[in-house]
Structure 1
């Protein structure tokens, strides 16, 4: 591979700063993580959006969260078709190998993926309908959520509702995985749905009894 280039100097400087401070101050902890392996209690499925920093929000240290990020924090339905499924593979590893106790799906405000789904499903983004669009085909997962919000009054209301539907669709799809459903039924695993407002820093959780998201 002859196209790879050296790391930008800014990132090199930041690495050396981390190595000289945070790492050196916690060297024993890092050595322990390396020698004993990871034992996270929680898997977080969040968006790729650079503004969503789940370890910062929850004050988590290395080794606490098993994190998987993708566009719009979506979980596909269980589909063992022999193809490549990154999210499904991460979920399988977290539940069956790491035996996490919690799986958290965390959506957020101003999600570009959700906006893309809304625009695609409403005819505003025909380019996403192309078979060659990776984003469009991924956002097909959220079409059931769009059907539940398409009649709301106004684009902003539809988008806000669809951001939360991205969480709910993922929670629904999680239960199609046999290894998830069996652990949930055995009360060895719990599922959680969150939505984060980037601008004001609040986090809402989905409460099934109220069928609504409420501030935590």
Structure 2
């Protein structure tokens, strides 16, 4: 593969710094993780956005979270013959093989994918309507959420859609037979969260109240 290049020097320096400090101080722990395999308590589905740092938010150690990231933290509906297998395969592995106790869907403020979906559904991003747009076809998953918030005041609509992305993903999770069975058997719980990146705030969806509330 002729196009692959060596890592930038700053990343190599950071690696050596990590190995000389964090790894060196916890070598026995890392070797135990390698030998015993992973046994995460929870799966977290979050956005690819570089500003969303799941392990920092929850102070998680290595081996604690099974993390899947994609554009706008979306889960597609259960479609065995469909094309959205990356996220679906990860959910299957988390529930069936790792037997996680929790699945957390984490949305966030100022999400570029959500803004793109809003613009596409509003007719102001025709490029995302092209069949060749991977982002556009992925964001089709959120179209039902846009329909639910399209009458919200424009100033608040994008943030409402960010939270709809979490709810749509929770709804779609329950279309997976193995997720539904695990939830009904009290072997799995699913949770919807939204974080404000700038404020460091965290909200969770309260089904009894039908809205997100601050934690």
TM-score category (smaller protein): over 0.9
SS at match of 1:117: helix
**Is residue 32 of structure 1 aligned with residue 35 of structure 2?**
no
Q: Whole-Å Cα distance in 2 between the matches of residues 143 and 35 of structure 1? A: 44
Could you report, residue by residue, the CA deviation over 1:99-143 in whole angstroms, capped at 9, with x for unpaired residues? Answer: 000000000000000000000000010000000000000000000
Q: Could you tell me which residue of structure 2 aligns to residue 210 of structure 1?
A: 209
**Is residue 55 of structure 1 aligned with residue 55 of structure 2?**
yes
Q: Once superposed, what is the RMSD of the aligned Cα atoms?
A: 0.8
SS at match of 1:46: strand
Q: Could you tell me which residue of structure 1 aligns to residue 100 of structure 2?
A: 100
Q: Could you tell me which residue of structure 2 aligns to residue 190 of structure 1?
A: 189
Q: Whole-Å Cα distance in 2 between the matches of residues 86 and 113 of structure 1? A: 17
> Any gaps of 5 or more consecutive residues in structure 2?
none
Q: Could you tell me which residue of structure 2 aligns to residue 109 of structure 1?
A: 109
Q: Could you tell me which residue of structure 1 aligns to residue 128 of structure 2?
A: 128
SS at match of 2:141: helix
**Normalization by structure 2: what TM-score?**
0.99
8 Å CA contact retained: 2:106, 2:194? yes
> What is the Cα deviation at residue 82 of structure 1?
6.4
Runs of 4+ more than 3 Å apart: none
Q: Could you tell me which residue of structure 2 aligns to residue 141 of structure 1?
A: 141
8 Å CA contact retained: 2:76, 2:84? no
8 Å CA contact retained: 2:101, 2:188? yes
Q: Whole-Å Cα distance in 2 between the matches of residues 9 and 200 of structure 1? A: 33
Q: Whole-Å Cα distance in 1 between the matches of residues 41 and 152 of structure 2? A: 38
**Is residue 45 of structure 1 aligned with residue 45 of structure 2?**
yes
**Is residue 161 of structure 1 aligned with residue 174 of structure 2?**
no
SS at match of 2:75: coil
1:32–1:12 Cα change, 3 Å: same
Q: Could you tell me which residue of structure 1 aligns to residue 70 of structure 2?
A: 70
> What is the Cα deviation at residue 191 of structure 1?
0.3
Q: Whole-Å Cα distance in 2 between the matches of residues 80 and 150 of structure 1? A: 30
Provide the aligned length of Structure 1 versus Structure 2: 215
**Normalization by structure 1: what TM-score?**
0.98
Q: Whole-Å Cα distance in 2 between the matches of residues 82 and 176 of structure 1? A: 14
> What is the Cα deviation at residue 153 of structure 1?
1.5
